[in-house]
Structure formats: structure tokens, C-alpha cells
Amino acid sequence: MSDDKLARMANQIAAFFATQPGTASEGIATHINDNWPGAMRAALLAEIAAGGAGLAPAVIAAAPRLRPPAKAAVRD
Amino acid sequence: MKDFVLPGRDMGTPARQGAPVSLTIDGFAVTVPAGTSVMRAAAEAGIRIPKLCATDSLEPIGACRLCAVEIEGQRGTPTSCTMLVAPGMVVRTQTETLARHRRGVMELTISDHPLDCLTCAANGDCELQDMAGAVGLRDVRYTPGANHFAQRTAEAPNPEWRPKDTSNPYFTYDPAKCIVCMRCVRACEEVQGTFALTIDGSGFASRVVAGQDVSFMESDCVSCGACVQSCPTATLQENSVIEIGTPERSIITTCAYCGVGCSFEAQMRGDTLVRMVPWKEGKANRGHSCVKGRFAWGYAQHQDRILKPMIREAITDPWREVSWDEALAFAAARLTAIRTASGPDALGVITSSRCTNEETYLVQKLARAVFGTNNTDTCARVCHSPTGYGLKQTFGTSAGTQDFDSVEHLDCALVIGANPTDGHPVFASRLRKRLRAGASLIVIDPRRIDLLDTPHMGEGLHLPLRPGTNVAVLTALAHVIVTEGLYDEAFIRARCDWDEFADYMDFAARPENGPEAVAALSGVPAESIRQAARSYAGVPNGAIYYGLGVTEHSQGSTTVMAIANLAMMTGNIGRPGVGVNPLRGQNNVQGSCDMGSFPHELPGYRHVSDPAVRGIFEAAWGVRLSPEPGLRIPNMLDAAVAGQFRAIYIQGEDILQSDPDTRHVAAGLAAMDCVIVHDLFLNETAAYAHVFLPGSTFLEKDGTFTNAERRINRVRRVMAPKNGFADWEVTQLLANAMGGGWAYTHPSEVMDEIAATTPGFAGVNYAMLDARGSVQWPCNDAAPDGSPVMHVDGFVRGKGRFIRTEYIATDERSGPRFPLLLTTGRVLSQYNVGAQTRRTENVAWHAEDVLEIHPHDAEVRGVKQGDFVRLASRVGEISLRADVTEKVAPGVVYTTFHHPGTQANVVTTENSDWATNCPEYKVTAVQVSASNGPSDWQTDYAARISAARRIAPAAE
């Protein structure tokens, strides 16, 4: 997935939570943790680690709350 | 005597509700509700009074006089259909006087009716024939004279005779056989609400005509079939009955088109389907239908159906027909190789909202238990995923709150981004009936939808907003309600969190959310917004109905929350006549969501990260499950282009035509190494497939569909699958080819597994559905009879939650290059990508997609009615014909996506809802200009698709 699309999705989520009472980064992190697969979260975390150009500040602030991808499930 | 009354019998007049009234009919004591007719009371006692013009789907008019009875203490012979019961009434239905009277009536009626019973299409299924027998008519004494049935006399042609009207492809009107009982006219008015039929003339000259005496196809007739169903003779007759003969048995099943989920009798002769007749006991449709469910089932037998599995190495090769074993082995080998090389997350599935709950459940189980990934998604992604998200956040359940019967109790209908007369016609007819009875209507939609032109309703209020401004307008409604104190404080205090409401009240009351500020950006006059808010908040029962015009936006989820907020603040939740009612697009879109089709939720909307929930399914399936959410459809395509997603199994879905930004979808599919399409036809997506598995129609399998009111309806097999297997069997074969070890022998076993693992379905099983007809989930120990209305005593999540709904403009804006806004939708006669309806006679109504454009916008571009125009957005361009109409506002254009030759989704963009990635189909900035013919994409596509559909001749 292109970084542009990820950034755009994250920024759209941030724009919603910025309008809500409370800390936006908490809502952003919960929403992304609940809905994004590990690979997409990993890519977003990598983007943030690389400086987060193009990402809303609230997305960057959400980084510590983003769940790193779980290890692939082991099939029995 | 009551023991002999079978369900489904015509009781003569509609049921009533009222205090019990006791009377005596032919010596039998009967007790019925006040307001019931004598005819119906007699029918309740098992006594069938002869009748012609009365039927229990219509109000009685007492026209045919056949149902006369004698009542002690009353003079004359009143008609029992119009005579209401009274306490202590003593009725006699059969006396010498009555018998003579009825024979006289029949004799007159028959004197103007042809006696060609043996060759008549209604022979054996004719109420006139039955009544002639019932009253003992033995001869007609009138000498031949003026009549309507003889084409000519010995001297000259008969001026009263008219030829059959065969203009409608599905039924024939033969005026020669009409007895002018007016059932058809009343059905068109009372049941359908179109008012296309009328009685022209009076006395002997009276006859049924369509419109201003034009053919049915030229009239306003929408071919719902209500008139045909109500006709007691062969005057209005299905062409299929004329061709095949009368049916000999019928099986109750559920329509496979829209989310209304109408119940039908599939009437059969052998394994040939003769006709589909809406079932009176069906709780969603109450005996009504639309042109699709009633007539458009010919696709099931269409020559385009692919009945043998096919495979090919590369999508540039022609298809090769192979055995099921070879196709499944080929598919399993590819899938296994990809999983070994790239891991389980390189695989995924798309479940189908056109397939049954059981089939959908098995497809997501295939992904989770056999592939080992949560990469499962469904077409709800592109339609109602924001409904699921928004209602779960606010109410706690991802579903509508009411049953369809609720419409009979509403006082104000607020219809947002929906076009029910086209998209959900049977619901629209039920709503129109309520509007004619005096309920008010508010429509929030960029187009002037036909519901606003409902005959005989009061003034409808239309808020023609600019596409993309839903949230602003709905928040402005909330602004009016909170600033004018129209909210229901008692309800909010009891049922919601008051502090959250207080926060929302402060937010909504801000000046930027006021009608005046919003008028500027939405184009809706402030006064209309105020009027709408006062109207919705001011009635006892306000009900919201909405469609994809709400969800398919970048703020789709926020709009759903705004709707939930409005319902909560006005106390319009938790009883009949109110609620939040998403009108679901496809027959089983509710069910496919319920069944765990989404990549982050196991069946029953439970998150994959919850170890307790995973534990339930791990125990049932005997595998470990991934705790990671999977990819959504657009993410799958993105990941495919990036080389990370390599294989997909798509059941009954045509993403190339239905999903936005066709070029991107094509690129994603082309990048995959194994695309398995499981469908009835070689659809557009199949052009990119390596394996084609033939599908079965809803007529060929058992299962259940869940409609927009959460009603679980049975689908019953009426004929054997032409392709050899029902779809659930095909999925099982694929799972087992990959070592799944499944052993289901019937879909009922799948439902039992669903009930055992999913709390809302705990009480559901086939025996119960067969006994009760249908049930609305949740159905479990807490609600053993199901749940017609939800959130009755409290919200599922506890307290209803108010969420701020700030308007955020979409990135898709009109500008100098693309000055118009395109919005898309569907028409009555076609369905979704048209794969089914295009293969029926429904093309008579809509043979191509056209572009609706306002006369002003057309004129400045030099576009005239019927001109070929070029429609371009920043992602692509197509050509289609223009329909110049004031249905759309200036600045807005509209089209449908039913035809692959048009490909409206070449133009739509990748923009999507912030929460669910539901595509923003409803807002695309476009330009319209004159054109000579198809765009380059359309021409290239036509060549490409025909190359991709080549099937190699079978080796001898």
C-alpha cells in the first residue's frame, strides 16, 4: 500500500477525533488498532518513525498507543 | 369449523383490530374484532360467501353484489363485504332468496364474458369459474347482444371489442375477459400506490384502462404485478402461465433482490418455475411485490449461465472447461503454494450479500479456519459499512431498529439519501400508503425523488442539498431542535448519558451549525431546515429511513451518528412507528455482516482481538485464529498492487463493475496470482480470474437471508442446481481440497453451528423457521420470539451515546476543470451491476445507463435530450446519453451503474468514509461535454472483455 493512502486514511481518522471531546490521539489509536491489519499499522509506525511527513500531528501523537503487529498466528 | 381454515386463504376483506364482537352466522357463534366485515367473520368460521370484487388485500366496495346475505331484523340483502359485524347479529349466508339473487347476478356477469374456458389461460385458476359453480349457474337466458368479448358480429366488427394489450413483457391484458370488478384498479391504488389504472366510462361502457387509455407500457405502470395477482379472471394474466399452464404446487421462499426480503410462493409445474407470487403471510412484504421479484427471475435459466468449472494458467489464455475435481485441485494447489510462499495474509475472500447466511458464514470460515487469515470482506464495505460502525457506536447494535410493519404507525417519515420507489419498492408502497393516510414526509436528497410525487399525500418537504453536505444539514436539524427546546428531556435522561447530550447540545447550538450558516454551504434554505426539524421533532412518531446517500460519503459514518443523535434527542427509539431504519441494498447484506464477513469481526460483530470470542470459534473449528484484523476490499487491492496480496476467492460479487475507480480495481486484480470467481455468469471480474466455479441461483438451494429489518427468512430449493452444486457445497469442496475436513450435509447444520457460536442467533434453527415463517434477531433465551423492535427498555450498549458530528468537507470538490457533482444510484427495473436483471425482460424499461442533467447545465454545454455526452472526472471518463431533467438540481448530475458498457465507476474515485473506507460514490467532481461516442476506455474494455471471455473448444 502506498504511503500516501495510509497517510490519507490516518489523517481522515484524525480529523474526526480532533472534533471530539478528550484526547484525539487516544481515539485515533483505538480506531486504528481495531480496524487496521498488522501490516498497515507497521507501515504507519514506520512512516511516523521516519518523521511522519504529511501526517497530522495527532496521528504522530497517537504512535505510542498504536499496537505493534502481532506475530502471525500459528496454525495447529 | 375453524379447524378447516387454512392459512393463506382469501378472507374477503382486510383484518381489523378492535374489541371483540360476537355474532351468529348460519347458526355458528363467531367472535371477531369490531370493524370486521360479515364476509370475513364468516370466513373465520369457515363459511365461504360467494364473492368476485372482494379480496382481503383490498378495501371492499360492494360492487359485484354476489356476496349478499340476510340479516335478521334488517330489510333486503346487504353485501357482506361492506356490512360490518354488530353484537348479537344473526346472519344467514344461504337461503332460497339469496341463491336466486346470486344466480341472477352471475347470469348478468357471464352474459358479457366469453365461454372459452377450456382454452383460457386461467382455466382451473379462475374465480369467475369457481363462483359460477358455487352459485349453481346452469344457463344464461339472455339472448346475444351488445358485448365486449366478440371480435365481430355477423354483420360488422364489434366496436366494443379491443385487442389484447401485450405491451408489458411479463403479463397480458385481455379486455374481452374483464368483468370490471375493479380489483386491479384498487390494487394499483391501495397496494402499490401508483394509480396507473382507472375505470373509463360508466355503466355498460365502463372498462379498465391504463393511464389516459394508453398501453400498459406507455402508462405510469411499474409492473409490480399487484393487478395481475388480484384479477379473478384471465383478464390480467402472467405470460408465463399463458405459455406453460397453471402451476401444480408452490414452495415458500425469499426474493434474492433488494434488502426488503419479500416472501414469495414459487409456483411450480414439475421442476419448471411457472410464476413467483408474493406470499400474503410474508411479514416483510405482506403480499406485495415489485417488478424484479415478481417477474425478473428469467436469468436463472439464461443461456449465459456457466454450468461447468473452468480454469486457465494466465488471464490472457482462453478458458478451459474441466471437471469439478480438476478445477478444485488447481485452485487448492495455487492457494496452498501462495500461502507457503507468502504467508496466509496473502490470501483473502469476498463473501456475497446475494448468497445465504450459511454460505457467507462458510466463506469467512474458509478464510479464517482454512486459509488462516482475517482477510475477509463483503460488498457491505461499499454500501452500509458506515451503518454498522455508526449504529454500533451510538446504540450498540449494527442494525436497523424496527420491522417494516412499523411504517404503519409513523406520523412523519424523514427519508435521507434513499430512493425507495426505485431501490426498495415494496417498502415504498407501504410508506406511500401511510403518507396517503396523512403522515408527513421530509426528503433530504440532492434529487427530487419520486416519493415526493406520491399521489394523494399532503405536501412533502424536500431539502435538495448539495452532495457531500449531509452532516452539515443533519447537525443543523439538531441545532434547531436543541435551540428551540424540541428535544425529549425525559427520554434522554432515562435512556442516554445526560452529560454527553449536554456536550452535543453545546456543540449543535454553535452558530456555525445553525440553519443560516448551513444554508450557505448546502444550498438548502434555512427556513426549510427549521421546518423539517420542527416537523420531525413535533410529531408523536418520527421515523428515519435512509440509504446509500447517507453512507457512501467521506463522512458516511458521521452521518449515521448524526441520524442516531436526532432519533435519540427526540425520543424516537424503542417502539413501533419510530426508529432508525437503514434500507439495505442487497437481499442478504444484513446477514453477510452478521455472519462475520468483516475483517475485524467474527460472527455476531465480535472483535477478532477478543480472546474469549476467538476461543469459541477455535473450539468449534479446531484451529488457532489470528487476532489481527484483516484487509478491507480496497486495502486488498492496494496490497495486491504492492505485491503483498496474491490470491482471492470471490463468491457472487462483481467488484470490477461495482467498486469505485475501475482502473484501480483492474490493476489490483491483474496483480494477483490466483483469482477465483464463483458466480452464475462470466461477470466483469471474471476477466481477471484464473478459476471460475459455477454458482447456483436462490431457486436451487436451501438457506436463509436476513433482510433490512433483521428478519431471518428461509430460502428453499425449488429445483436442482443446474451447475450440480449449491454454493455452500462448492465452498465446502474448496475447503476440503485444502484439507479443511468439513462434513456439512445440509445448510441447517451450518445454521446450527451459527446458533451455537453466536448469541443473537442462539434460538434460531430450521425447524423453528419452518414453523414460524421467519424471526427477527436477536432470538435467544432473552428474546425467544425474536425482536421486532430493538432498544425497547434500554439500548443494547447500555446508555445511548451522543457523538459530536462536525461537518468536514470532502476533498472531492467541484472546481474550474470539474464544475459539476456526480452522484450515482439505481432504477426500479435494474439491480446493482445488472448481472441478473440485464438478463431478463426488464431491459424493456432501462436498456442503458443515462446521465440526468439539469436543463440549465445542459443548455450552457449545448447538450440536448438523448445526446451522447462525455462524463469525465480526475480518474477517468466514459460516454453515455443525456437525460435532461429537473429531477436533479443545477450543478448536480446523476447516473446508474447497471450496465458494464457504461461503467460509471470508471469515473468514481478512491475517496472513502473515514471510519470504514466505504467509497464516496455519491460525490465525484465531473465535467460534461458533447461527445461522438464511447470513450477510449469503453472501446478498449469491450475488446479486452471479449478476449478474456474466450472459452477453448472442448477436446474431443
Name the closest residue on chain A to residue B644, using Cα atoms: A1
- How far is residue B61 from each of residues B13, B82, B296, B430, measured CA to CA in Å? 10, 7, 32, 21
DSSP state of B187: I
**Contact B628/A2, CB-based, under 8 Å?**
no
Residue A73 has a pLDDT of 43
Closest CA to B562 of B412, B401, B394, B417: B394
**Contact B628/A74, CB-based, under 8 Å?**
no
Of the pLDDT bands very low, low, confident and very high (cuts 50, 70, 90), residue B314 is very high
Q: How far is B353 from chain A (nearest CA, A)?
A: 21
Domain covering B407-582, topology:
Dimethylsulfoxide Reductase; domain 2 (3.40.228)
Task: Tell the burial category of A63 from Cβ atoms under 10 Å away from its Cβ (0-12, 13-18, 19+).
Answer: middle
Residue A35 has its nearest CB partner, among B600, B626, B639, at B600
Give the Cα separation of A6 and B452 in Å (integer). Answer: 42
Tell me if B709 sits within 8 A of B715, measured CB to CB. Answer: no
Residues 17-76 of A with CB under 8 A from B: 19-21, 31, 33-40, 69-70, 72-76
φ, ψ for residue B618 (rounded to 5)? -65, -40
The residues near B610 (Cβ < 8 Å, ≥ 6 apart) are: none
DSSP H or E stretch at residue B821: strand B820-825
Of the pLDDT bands very low, low, confident and very high (cuts 50, 70, 90), residue B4 is very low
Give the Cα separation of B127 and B137 in Å (integer). Answer: 14
Three-state DSSP at B874 gives coil
Q: How far is A16 from chain B (nearest CA, A)?
A: 8
Q: How far is B598 from chain A (nearest CA, A)?
A: 10
Q: Please state the ipTM of this predicted complex.
A: 0.93
What would be the CATH architecture of the domain defined by B2-134?
A: Roll (3.10)
Chain A partners within 8 Å of B372 (Cβ): 73, 75
- Reported as a single tens digit per residue, the pLDDT across B577-589 is 999 999 988 899 9
Domain covering B171-301, topology:
Alpha-Beta Plaits (3.30.70)
Three-state DSSP at B47 gives coil
Residues 793-812 of B with CB under 8 A from A: 803-804, 806, 808
Residue ranges per structural domain of chain B: 2-134, 171-301, 322-383+588-776, 407-582, 820-947
Residue B624 has its nearest CB partner, among A31, A36, A74, at A74
How many contacts does A have with B, using Cβ atoms within 8 A?
Answer: 77
Residue B458 has a pLDDT of 83
Of the pLDDT bands very low, low, confident and very high (cuts 50, 70, 90), residue A71 is low
Average pLDDT value for residue range B698-703:
96
Give the Cα separation of B807 and B294 in Å (integer). Answer: 42
- Reported as a single tens digit per residue, the pLDDT across B428-463 is 999 999 999 999 999 999 999 999 999 999 889 999
- How far is residue B249 from each of residues B118, B216, B618, B704, B743, measured CA to CA in Å? 21, 30, 44, 21, 32
Lay out the sheet containing B647-651: strands in order across.
Answer: B320-321, B310-311, B691-694, B674-679, B647-651, B347-351, B376-378
DSSP state of B340: H
Chain B partners within 8 Å of A20 (Cβ): 803-804
Number of H helices, E strands in chain B: 29, 34
E-strand stretches of B426-500: 440-444, 461-463
A16: contact with B, CB 8 A cutoff: yes
Average pLDDT value for residue range B346-359:
96
- Reported as a single tens digit per residue, the pLDDT across B520-530 is 999 999 999 99
Residue B637 has a pLDDT of 94
Chain A partners within 8 Å of B622 (Cβ): 76
Q: B820-947: which CATH number, 2.40.40.20, 3.40.50.300, 3.40.1160.10, 3.40.640.10?
A: 2.40.40.20
Question: Residue B316 pLDDT more than 90?
Answer: yes
- Reported as a single tens digit per residue, the pLDDT across B390-411 is 999 999 988 999 999 999 999 9
Q: At what angle do helices B498-508 and B470-483 cross, to 10 degrees?
A: 110
B558: contact with A, CB 8 A cutoff: yes
Question: Residue B510 pLDDT more than 90?
Answer: yes
Residue B464 has a pLDDT of 95
Name the closest residue on chain B to residue A28, using Cα atoms: B915
Closest CA to B71 of B52, B84, B56, B57: B84
Tell me if B481 sits within 8 A of B533, measured CB to CB. Answer: yes
Q: How far is A51 from chain B (nearest CA, A)?
A: 22
Give the Cα separation of B954 and B612 in Å (integer). Answer: 52
Name the closest residue on chain A to residue B555, using Cα atoms: A16
Provide the β-strand partners of residue B173: B165, B236
**Contact B609/A21, CB-based, under 8 Å?**
no
Give the Cα separation of B472 and B468 in Å (integer). Answer: 9
What CATH code would you report for B322-383+588-776?
3.40.50.740
The residues near B729 (Cβ < 8 Å, ≥ 6 apart) are: none
Of the pLDDT bands very low, low, confident and very high (cuts 50, 70, 90), residue B835 is confident
Of the pLDDT bands very low, low, confident and very high (cuts 50, 70, 90), residue B153 is confident
Question: Residue B931 pLDDT more than 50?
Answer: yes
Average pLDDT value for residue range B935-940:
84
